[in-house]
Chain A
Amino acid sequence: MNTFSKIVIPVFIVFVIFYGFRKKINIYDAFLEGAKEGLLISFNIFPSIIAMVFAINVFLDSNFVNEFLGVLSPVLDIINIPLEIMPMALLRPISGTASLAIMNDIFINYGPDSYIGRLASVLQGCTDTTIYVLALYFSSIGVKKIRYSLGVGLFADLVGITVAFLITMLFF
């Protein structure tokens, strides 16, 4: 099963480049053009990364999570969920950058190959930022009554996060 994870990216890259070559487009120029866009994207998200890393670190370093949510840890221990992952699971649907900042912190403290590091990785990859996407997409076309969309979106997140916990336990 691990081989699937390992071959996905190399095979995909070879396929894309070779396909482009066969279609006789200038693959090198296309790459450079896309890379330039990627650089712009990165610069555009930099301010929000600074903002969120700041807020998340002040929050985590205050020890609030351990002091207050610590009462939950006996319960969480039984189902094998580390306490430190809870802020990330809660923030994932609201801000992708905030959960990214927490994941970064978890990697610094425990390493990416620890159980909690793997859990954070699966969690970050498995859903998108529901509230942000809904706000952006609906406001772009002037829709104000969003009906049951938020409920269904958050339900999908909940399913994703639950499965992420279960699957990480099974896999690793």
Chain B
Amino acid sequence: MVSYIWLFLILIGIGFSFLTGNLDTINDSILTNGNKALELMLSILPIIVLWTGIMKIAEESGLLKRFAKLVEPLLSKLFPTIPKDNKALGYIASNIAANMMGLGSAATPFGLKAMSELQKINEKKDTASTAMITFLVLNTAGVTIVPTTVLALRIAHGSANPSEIILPGVIATFCSSLGGLLLDYFIRKRRNNK
């Protein structure tokens, strides 16, 4: 999928420049691209490193686990098909906690473990279960409170108030999750009634 998008962007970009005779701009663009990538990398790297460091403290001190315990009752309502003491709920909770703190890459291992636990209680192994779908909706809607890379880039480009986007972001991400969960809920209900 990403391959197609990549090909599309490059073909359109270079093809269109040829058609419009913009050869100088496109050569410039290709040759100076690397610098842009490096600058982008350098501006987000320190915050990613700082933040994974802080979150490691939260993990080792048991804070992440405690937070996960806190949201578990709520989760068991969202996932009626998962048995109450199943390990999947804990992994789902940890995945969401890590996502909230803007640690997408740290959230992934928890998410993969949650999926393999859900697969154990899945009846048709090649088909997604309802619990998996609900989990992925929650996951891709991405409830993020601290968007680390966005903050880092805003700082790097000299924003006067880098964190001003946090609250609007939280509202948008909350609506996105809610919308996804509601649609998921209605689909499940309609299928059960059939």
Contacts and interface: CB of A to CB of B under 8 A. Distances in A.
A33 B165 CA distance: 30
Given A134-B140, A152-B187, A155-B183, A125 B173 contact: yes
Interface in B4-36: 5-6, 9-10, 12-17, 20, 22, 25-26, 28-30, 33-34, 36
Contacts of A9: 146, 151, 163
Interface string A24-39: 0101001111110111
A108 B43 CA distance: 13
Q: How large is the interface on A (under 10, 10 to 19, 20 to 34, 35 or more residues)?
A: 35 or more
Between B62, B153, B187, the greatest number of chain A beta carbons within 10 A of the residue's beta carbon is seen for: B153
A56 interface: yes
A78 interface: no
A72 interface: no
Given A54-B34, A141-B119, 17 more contacts: A4-B166, A34-B57, A52-B6, A58-B17, A61-B13, A63-B16, A103-B153, A104-B153, A112-B154, A122-B165, A137-B112, A143-B132, A152-B133, A153-B137, A156-B137, A156-B177, A167-B171
12 contacts: A12-B146, A42-B41, A113-B160, A117-B157, A126-B169, A126-B173, A134-B140, A136-B108, A144-B127, A152-B133, A159-B175, A160-B172
Interface of B: 1-2, 5-6, 9-10, 12-17, 20, 22, 25-26, 28-30, 33-34, 36-37, 40-41, 44-45, 48-63, 99, 101, 104-106, 108, 111-112, 115-116, 118-119, 125-128, 132-133, 136-137, 139-142, 144-147, 149-151, 153-154, 157-169, 171-173, 175-180, 183-184, 187
